Amino acid sequence: MTPVLSVENLSVAYRVPGGTLQAVRDVTLSVRRGEVLGIMGESGCGKSTLAAAMINLLPPGAVISQGAVRLNGTDMLTLPPAAQRALRGRSVAMVFQDPMTAFNPVLTIGRQLADFTGAQEPRLVDMLARVGIPDAARCLDRFPHELSGGMRQRVAIAAALLMQPEVLIADEPTTALDVTMEAQIIHLLRDLRTTFDGAIVIVTHHLGVIAELCDRVAVMYAGEVVEDGPVDAIFHDPQHPYTRALLACDPAVVDPASGRLPTIAGRLPDLTALPPGCAFLPRCTVALAACRTAPPQLRPAEGRSVLCHRGAA
């Protein structure tokens, strides 16, 4: 089965004062229909850039320096911009961290949803009810600021689903919410799994979101996917030293209320001046001599892959 969405050897750089910042480096990933792919990793490791590059919707200043971005097998990067937009419009919808920014503050929810999706009122009410908005008909007459953050995020998810996308991409969809709202949105996304038959890509810092929602997870570090595979396999038997460090952290380090990614000692390397060897070297406790001089190559092992000189154990 052809993946709905895939990227092959994708690299993305930002032009920054005094150089080039390598935000995504040689990433190969795919997601199939009915599958939920999680992307995790610490702040600044390239998750949002990768999510945006997966649909070639990068901010100004970003350049795709190599690779392919395929939607149902078609490489978007080879299409003229208008054809790309048409393909994307038919196939992909995106949900962002803070749904307030997605709404126009002076128009009602109903007006915006109708403009954005072209759907009639009964369908809007139906979809709002489906994402758990109480009194959905009245919600259409409200303005964005009259809704809670969790409600706005539900409306944003409803808007995305009304587009009937084949791929739903959510970048930190629960991060701006308080713990209760966050739990509700996670619950909603989990329910969606049974009714939405497209593919879902979720970027998150939240280990609980990965564990509860995702089939597969890609762990990013310094722009690279360092480990990729089924969630169960990776959570129970992480192979890359970075994944191990994240998951082996004393549970006390993980904030019990938020379940957020623990922090590990050290910091990301400067992405404008990467070392010749492994980018994780300064923080790695099991480095080999080769790690200093040569970048590790991806090693596939039983449906998962690991980017480390030590390979899969």
Ligand X SMILES: Nc1ncnc2c1ncn2[C@@H]1O[C@H](COP(=O)(O)OP(=O)(O)OP(=O)(O)O)[C@@H](O)[C@H]1O
Q: Find the part of the chain contacting Mg ion (CB under 5 A) among 47-55, 80-88, 253-261, 282-290.
A: 47-55
Do 23 and 271 contact (CB within 8 A), yes or no? yes
- Site mask, Mg ion, residues 48-77, x = CB under 5 A? x-----------------------------
Cβ contacts of residue 199 below 8 Å, gap of 6+? 3, 4, 5, 31, 32, 33, 34, 35, 36, 37, 166, 167, 168
DSSP states along 72-128: TTEEGGGS-HHHHHHHHHHHEEEE-S-GGGGS-TTS-HHHHHHHHH---HHHHHHHH
| Residue whose beta carbon is closest to Mg ion | 48
Interface of this chain with ligand X, residues 261 to 290, rule: CB under 6 A: 271
Binding of residue 61 to ligand X (CB under 6 A): yes
Stretch that binds Mg ion, among 39-47, 128-136, 217-225, 277-285 (CB under 5 A): 39-47
* CA 226/CA 232 separation, integer angstroms: 17
Nearer to ligand SF4, 3 or 296 (CB): 296
Select the binding partner of residue 248 from ligand SF4, Mg ion, ligand X, none (C-beta < 5 to 8 A, by kind).
none
Pairing of strands 74-75, 298-301: unpaired
Residues binding ligand SF4 (CB under 6 A): 241, 278, 280-281, 284, 286-288, 291, 296, 308-310
Is residue 21 at the binding interface for ligand X, with CB under 6 A as the rule? yes
291 is in the binding site of which of Mg ion, ligand X, ligand SF4, none (Cβ under 5 to 8 A by kind)?
ligand SF4
| Nearest CB to ligand X, comparing residues 47 and 154 | 47
Q: Report the residue number, 14 or 221, with the smaller CB distance to ligand SF4.
A: 221
Site size toward ligand X (CB under 6 A) is 15
Q: Decide: 204 and 174 in contact? Cβ < 8 Å.
A: yes
- The count of other CB atoms within 10 Å of the CB of residue 253 is 12
Buried b (16+ CB within 10 A) or exposed e, 32-47: beebbbbbbbbeebbb
CB-CB neighbours of 244 under 10 Å? 18
How far is Cα 245 from Cα 179, in angstroms, rounded to an integer? 25
Residue 22 in contact with ligand X, rule: CB under 6 A: no
Nearest approach, Cβ of 33 to Mg ion (angstroms)? 25
* Between 150 and 238, CB nearer to ligand SF4: 238
- For residue 271, the minimal CB distance to ligand X (Å) is 5
Binder of residue 309, out of ligand X, Mg ion, ligand SF4, none (CB less than 5 to 8 A by kind) = ligand SF4
Q: Per rule CB under 6 A, is residue 59 in the interface with ligand X?
A: yes
Residue 11 or residue 204: which is nearer to Mg ion going by CB? 204
Query: Where along the sequence are the contacts to Mg ion (CB under 5 A)?
Result: 47-48
> Where does this chain bind ligand X (CB under 6 A)?
14, 16, 21, 23, 41, 43-49, 59, 61, 271
